[in-house]
Structure 1
Amino acid sequence: MKNILEQINSLEVIHIDLDNYAIYVKQNKQVNQILHTLVKDMTVDEYIHSFSKDDLIDLIPAVIRTGVADGYKQGRGFVSEPKQFYMQRCLELNNRIEYLENMIVSLGGHPKMQIVDKNNLIH
């Protein structure tokens, strides 16, 4: 069985919220099991109520509170990098989208046109 860090890192990051610095994963049975291991100072239900948005949940506060991420630098996954790393990536992407929007406007397009890359909607 995977250790807790491997379990966390195997989760797919669905959404990063720049407004509240949250990194969301889909709430499911696996995430609830991880929370039962991590959350010590409140019930899992209280944690879910405090850190969920629709069917997504921000797992980072629980991870940081338990110190699971402290000093961990090897491997891949959202716990293995500082949260600031993801915020920086989001800001860079946001700047790129803003640049593309301005370029669309300068070419006579509407600023809220959909931007598609390889058939994937990126904005």
Structure 2
Amino acid sequence: MNTAYWIVAGLLALFYLYSGAMKVSRNRDQLRPMMAWVDRIALPAVRALGTVEILGALGLILPPLTGIAPVLATAAAIGFVLLQAGAIAVHLTGEDRQITLNLGLIATAAATTWLATGL
């Protein structure tokens, strides 16, 4: 189960590190082709969301790796489930309505939550 956690959590962390770094470092015009919703959200909120994604990714990896407060990995995974639930709401209220990736991320974060309980 430990190996499964590291595979799933590692892939999820990589995704959120990349996604968060893009939201923190790129401007609205650079984000728009990948994220149609950025025009409906204030740029400081997009930056804050990116910061939350980066911190959550670190929360999936660092606590189990160091052995310090490994319960934080479970909290980070639950946070990603909630984050994607909110993302689905944003997509459904907008024009893009593409939620396939969000559903996949919810499933992955839910699996990570379950696997993190066995750490």
TM-score relative to the length of structure 2: 0.37
TM-score relative to the length of structure 1: 0.36
User: Which protein has greater RCO, CA pairs closer than 8 Å, 6+ apart?
Assistant: 2
